[in-house]
Chain A
């Protein structure tokens, strides 16, 4: 909004590791925090707000306390909103609000995790019964991929979406990943490669699923005052929106996500619409996650996602909607099984002109969207619209 002071992302850092058996999760948090500080050319002492979400291995560890302790932070504001993978996009929005409120000037957001070193496999799922919902869901073997499989099945039933159309999303991601030296899977794949890979949960194949990787990332969100003392290019946060989608008391609609609300709120705040977006980072836990988000964010009509992604619309640099130019969670990185952080980082790279040359888009406006939890039961949706400073 014109009347609000601008807030910026001044630093962004993605850990290059994808497998870190010799490091602790907290150590990875520290490494990404240091990376973001170096990127922003800020000192650790300048941090006065800290954001992170829960960590599976420290379930009852009072995350903000143990992390502020470990990192040695002295903060006036902390937030551990946990929407699963979309958390870190929410954190950007919450940091903007706290900065505009005058509570803080330099907000650090960190993510780290080691699911790969801890031996998690695709298709495995938590079995502990903790919440009321677990007693009505996990008892049935409701794994994450099974739930997303049901979403894909219903989308195909209602709109005629095909496995080959879903595969186009992986094809575009793999095209981008070939230029990312850190990507877990750098070989381009074809539609046929995807649909002939093993079916993990109907109708989703192995190549419809994201990678499982160790690693992390960090962001620094700063006030206009702090930004004015920095010399490098920053990225302005133009709009943020979030929402929670759930069972609706038994009326769950597996073909739509809360991106419809989070996206429209973010666009409204930015005073922009989907046609203004030059580059989009869209959370890609599975190919169907991307397809439904594209529709719900308004890049095409509900049900038209399949035809939209055909013919290379998602491929950088010239597609209609270049997406996930780092290779995304499908091919490059999905640290801690939470993809929201890397979505923001790649959007920042695109706006600063720091993406890999072959996939650099001429981008003034970028969007980063996260879907956390499961669209098959309940999920968080968080969207930010970002602008380059030379736009």
Chain B
């Protein structure tokens, strides 16, 4: 299964590494070498201390559902991707990351433990991180 026809990211010099790592099934976050902040979405400067000593770090790939909402109909969105679950997952590395949850909405709650999965892009060397409930 590929991500298209859903909207695809614009891959820039600032974010290229993130997307190509995802194509290799690795979720990256950025960590500040000065203040230690781990942030997401990836930026060239630390959004806390403005240091440019920010480094890529492999995330654990696990986290907890911070919040979610289930959209049942959405014009222009592929039918087989509905209902769509939009969520913030609080990564075990720290930041809250906007994403999709690929699961039965009934099997889900705030606090549910989840882990990352990747849906490949056909149009670029990239994949989209989404999350599924963790098999405990």
For the complex, give the distance between the alpha carbons of A1 and B64 in Å.
47
- A150-B67, A150-B88, A157-B110 given as contacts; is B9 within 8 A of A251 (CB)? no
Residues 123-138 of A at the B interface (beta carbon under 8 Å): 123-125, 127-129, 132-138
Assess the A123–B73 pair: CB atoms within 8 A.
yes
- A252 within 8 Å of B by Cβ? yes
For the complex, give the distance between the alpha carbons of A128 and B7 in Å.
8
Among B3, B6, B43, B67, the most chain A Cβ lie within 10 Å of the Cβ of B67
- Chain B interface main SS type: loop
Q: Which residue of A lies closest to B77 (CB)?
A: A141
Q: How far is the CB of B83 from chain A (nearest CB, A)?
A: 9
- A62 within 8 Å of B by Cβ? no
Contact with B along A130-172 (1 / 0, CB 8 A): 0011111111111101110111111001000000000000000
Q: How large is the interface on B (under 10, 10 to 19, 20 to 34, 35 or more residues)?
A: 35 or more
Please indicate the chain B residues that have their CB under 8 angstroms from the CB of A132 in the complex: 12, 14-15, 41, 43
- Chain A interface main SS type: mixed
Assess the B14–A121 pair: CB atoms within 8 A.
no
Among A127, A140, A204, A377, the most chain B Cβ lie within 10 Å of the Cβ of A140
For the complex, give the distance between the alpha carbons of A33 and B82 in Å.
44
Contact with A along B23-39 (1 / 0, CB 8 A): 00000000000000111
- A2 within 8 Å of B by Cβ? no
- A202 within 8 Å of B by Cβ? yes
Please indicate the chain B residues that have their CB under 8 angstroms from the CB of A141 in the complex: 6-7, 71, 74, 77, 81, 84, 86, 100
Assess the B69–A202 pair: CB atoms within 8 A.
yes
- A132-B12, A141-B86, A154-B110 given as contacts; is B69 within 8 A of A149 (CB)? yes
Assess the B12–A124 pair: CB atoms within 8 A.
no
Contact with B along A328-360 (1 / 0, CB 8 A): 000000000000000000000000000000000
Q: Which residue of B lies closest to A121 (CB)?
A: B75
- B40 within 8 Å of A by Cβ? yes
Q: Which residue of A lies closest to B43 (CB)?
A: A132
Residues 170-211 of A at the B interface (beta carbon under 8 Å): 199-204
- B99 within 8 Å of A by Cβ? yes
- A150-B87, A154-B66, A154-B110 given as contacts; is B40 within 8 A of A250 (CB)? yes
Please indicate the chain B residues that have their CB under 8 angstroms from the CB of A150 in the complex: 67-69, 86-88
Q: How far is the CB of A135 from chain B (nearest CB, A)?
A: 4
Assess the B41–A136 pair: CB atoms within 8 A.
yes
Please indicate the chain A residues that have their CB under 8 angstroms from the CB of B12 in the complex: 132, 135
Assess the B95–A251 pair: CB atoms within 8 A.
yes
- Pick from B9, B38, B67, B71: contact of A139, CB under 8 Å: B9
Interface residues of B (CB under 8 A from A): 3, 6-12, 14-15, 37-41, 43, 46-48, 66-77, 81, 84, 86-88, 94-100, 105, 110, 128
Q: Contacts A146-B69, A377-B98 given; 17 further ones with Cβ under 8 A?
A: A135-B41, A138-B7, A139-B7, A141-B7, A141-B74, A141-B84, A142-B98, A143-B74, A153-B68, A153-B69, A200-B71, A203-B69, A249-B95, A250-B39, A250-B95, A252-B96, A254-B66
Interface residues of A (CB under 8 A from B): 121, 123-125, 127-129, 132-143, 145-147, 149-154, 157, 199-204, 247, 249-252, 254, 377
List 9 A-B pairs, minimum CB-CB distance, nearest first. A250-B95, A149-B69, A135-B9, A154-B67, A249-B47, A136-B41, A150-B67, A202-B70, A249-B39
